Chains A and B, each alone.
Chain A
């Protein structure tokens, strides 16, 4: 029996999304073609866009479909950087939180290396929450700032960021605000209009759409350049034939996720709290990272560090016991690196190496959590012994 506790990495498409995908993929038709088949595809595309806009409280013209959250983040960072700089060459600063996803941080540092950008990392406290006073101080250089980017909720430790305060600062100083909401959609109510954000990243495979589709919501008045040339699709911001089947499935999954968000959040929260309490009982010295339950964290995930253990040992032992979790951090050639999120929260490198993230999805059950809790005591003990041998 296998227990999947890594829904934050990717969750399976819902049956309705999959059916929509398969049905749509059977049609010929390029949404840019002018004949009947093209018109049909175009109609599906625009209906999907309207659905997505309705679900996220945005206007249809604000929805730009992409292939992934990563692509949406790249478009936001580079596109807005270039758009703003072409209006005013002095705007070369990127203000981003230190705990952003790599698909956000890496393009920021790429811009620093290739396009003269300057990256300012906004610090977080020990729970991974932005330090507002420090952030406010960063706005001293607002006039040279191209954009600010702060995620809705952290994908590793689950911390929610102080959305409203950040948006107020950005508005006061006239700095466009981008938010990656990849982890939030489906778990929390997400309103683009009310968020105060100028751009917002969504990733489909995190909430039940198939892989290969995401979106960037952008306000119409936001200066933004396309990263690709070769076609005028998606308001000229994303050249290339549009992936209508994936987009249709994306809209179906998003409609399900947002219409059932409250029940889903309640389901995830109760499983998460069972998991957190159970892990603490099973391994008393395990440390929950990020805020305590009920205080500003995502319903569906929890990351612990296990003292004396290495993440790769824990992962292997749980995997062989049929429980699939993740170290929660970026990999290079499959090597777990100590998470930049944990390090930014002040966790020391050795503790950070013993991190394991458990994340739940709408199909998760108490049996999944209990399988983890049953395996964990002996797994943690073994991993600790293995940690001692490699430290010798």
Chain B
């Protein structure tokens, strides 16, 4: 096959590219430039978008003896990831930019462009497995649970899944991947992992938002509606957040307070005790499915043995699914246990065993 290896400059995508070459594919390496002004993004060696990363990726491609190019996807990235990030925060939700990047940039624009240019598939360094099933490819968790990235991949479509390779799917640990890189003499084998949001180089998300959305002072309220503090913009708060509230007075009971909700209409932030964050129902919208047909439309009713996960590295929770509003809304009722601090805008990913069935964007969460 002709395979385009997406090479971020990190160790994972480097090993993925190497394995694609060793599997006998005709491989071309591509680094996605996500800004036209690389200095704007981080200059260290931890990110996904700096000049260093592009040249690290290039050196790996040299070592593998494959052609290498930098493709400018900055416009798509700006429109679908950065703008979405700002708009979601402005609307009081908490987006996951890595997931949007997978949805719109890697597994849409890059994949479509690759296909148009004659590639059969793209290979990425994600920890997840695309396994053949009776009805076509299935997305499964990586056996390396700590690193598993199926959560951020669940947004891709079925058709896209049939055109991707995850060569790291079978790796059980990051150490194994680093060892594989060292064994192949890839200079990135000891490069540190990246954690933060790549377009916020200093990690100061609140500052990034304030610079772009402006300061909008408003009240911080307790659950009874009494003002207990002030904030510089409700958009910068996330449900479940405890740090950075700067409340002058301690709570009556002396216990820590958490953000329970943010309300964009009156620009208020409501805080309260930890137990008020507990939820056991999640409502998701804009569901997309990696099964065909969508499982809950099947003749047998909702699928069984379901678990949901609401954060990239969160726990999965057993759940029962129902559809409401003619299928527009997906509701998960947690059947054993509760979750705390679930923010609107995050993705709720539906698992059956290790398999990803689909996902929806969380609109609301409550206890009942």
> Which residues of A does B touch, CB under 8 Å?
310, 312-313, 315-317, 319-320, 332-337, 382-383, 385-386, 388-390, 392
Assess the A386–B67 pair: CB atoms within 8 A. Answer: no
Known contacts A333-B38, A335-B36, A337-B36; decide if A389 and B113 are in contact (CB<8 Å).
yes
Assess the A390–B69 pair: CB atoms within 8 A. Answer: no
Interface positions of B from 43 to 88, Cβ below 8 Å from A: 51, 54-55, 58, 67, 69-74, 76
Partner of B71, one of A312, A332, A388, A389: A312
Q: Please name 9 further chain A to chain B contacts, defined as beta carbons within 8 Å, in addition to the given A319-B67, A333-B38, A386-B112, sorted by A numbering.
A: A317-B117, A332-B36, A332-B38, A333-B54, A334-B69, A335-B70, A390-B76, A390-B112, A392-B112
Cα distance A111–B37 in the bound complex, in angstroms? 22
Chain A residue at smallest Cβ distance from B112: A389
Which residues of chain B are near A310, meaning CB under 8 Å? 72
Chain B residue at smallest Cβ distance from A332: B38
Which residues of chain A are near B51, meaning CB under 8 Å? 333
Which residues of chain B are near A313, meaning CB under 8 Å? 113, 117
Which residues of chain A are near B112, meaning CB under 8 Å? 386, 389-390, 392
**Per-residue CB proximity of B95-112 to A under 8 Å, as 1/0?**
000000000000001001
> Which residues of B does A touch, CB under 8 Å?
28, 31, 33, 36-38, 51, 54-55, 58, 67, 69-74, 76, 109, 112-113, 115-118
What are 25 A-B interface contacts by the 8 Å CB criterion?
A312-B70, A312-B72, A316-B117, A332-B36, A332-B37, A332-B38, A333-B33, A333-B38, A333-B51, A333-B54, A333-B55, A334-B31, A334-B54, A334-B58, A335-B33, A335-B70, A337-B36, A382-B116, A383-B117, A385-B116, A386-B112, A386-B113, A386-B117, A389-B115, A392-B112
Cα distance A337–B70 in the bound complex, in angstroms? 12
The distance from the CB of B226 to the nearest CB of chain A, in whole angstroms, is 51
Which residues of chain B are near A382, meaning CB under 8 Å? 116-118
Assess the B69–A320 pair: CB atoms within 8 A. Answer: no
Cα distance A312–B67 in the bound complex, in angstroms? 13
Cα distance A320–B69 in the bound complex, in angstroms? 12
The distance from the CB of B119 to the nearest CB of chain A, in whole angstroms, is 10
Cα distance A336–B67 in the bound complex, in angstroms? 17
The 7 closest A-B CB pairs, nearest first, are A334-B70, A386-B116, A389-B112, A385-B116, A335-B33, A333-B54, A386-B113
Which residues of chain B are near A392, meaning CB under 8 Å? 112
Cα distance A232–B115 in the bound complex, in angstroms? 59
Which residues of chain A are near B33, meaning CB under 8 Å? 333-335
The distance from the CB of A312 to the nearest CB of chain B, in whole angstroms, is 5
The distance from the CB of A335 to the nearest CB of chain B, in whole angstroms, is 4
Partner of B70, one of A317, A320, A333, A390: A333
Cα distance A315–B72 in the bound complex, in angstroms? 13
Which residues of chain B are near A334, meaning CB under 8 Å? 31, 33, 54, 58, 69-70
Which residues of chain A are near B58, meaning CB under 8 Å? 334
Which residues of chain A are near B71, meaning CB under 8 Å? 312
Assess the B36–A312 pair: CB atoms within 8 A. Answer: no
Which residues of chain B are near A386, meaning CB under 8 Å? 112-113, 116-117
The distance from the CB of B7 to the nearest CB of chain A, in whole angstroms, is 12
Which residues of chain A are near B117, meaning CB under 8 Å? 313, 316-317, 382-383, 386
Cα distance A193–B324 in the bound complex, in angstroms? 85
The distance from the CB of A262 to the nearest CB of chain B, in whole angstroms, is 39
Chain A residue at smallest Cβ distance from B53: A333
Chain A residue at smallest Cβ distance from B51: A333
Assess the B113–A390 pair: CB atoms within 8 A. Answer: yes
Cα distance A388–B70 in the bound complex, in angstroms? 19
Which residues of chain B are near A389, meaning CB under 8 Å? 109, 112-113, 115-116
Assess the A315–B69 pair: CB atoms within 8 A. Answer: yes
Cα distance A336–B37 in the bound complex, in angstroms? 11
Which residues of chain A are near B69, meaning CB under 8 Å? 312, 315-316, 334
The distance from the CB of B59 to the nearest CB of chain A, in whole angstroms, is 13
Cα distance A315–B58 in the bound complex, in angstroms? 17
The distance from the CB of B80 to the nearest CB of chain A, in whole angstroms, is 11
Cα distance A316–B68 in the bound complex, in angstroms? 9
Cα distance A338–B112 in the bound complex, in angstroms? 23
Which residues of chain A are near B31, meaning CB under 8 Å? 334
Which residues of chain A are near B54, meaning CB under 8 Å? 333-334
The distance from the CB of A319 to the nearest CB of chain B, in whole angstroms, is 7
Known contacts A390-B113, A392-B112; decide if A336 and B72 are in contact (CB<8 Å).
yes
The distance from the CB of A337 to the nearest CB of chain B, in whole angstroms, is 7
Most buried by B among A313, A332, A385: A332
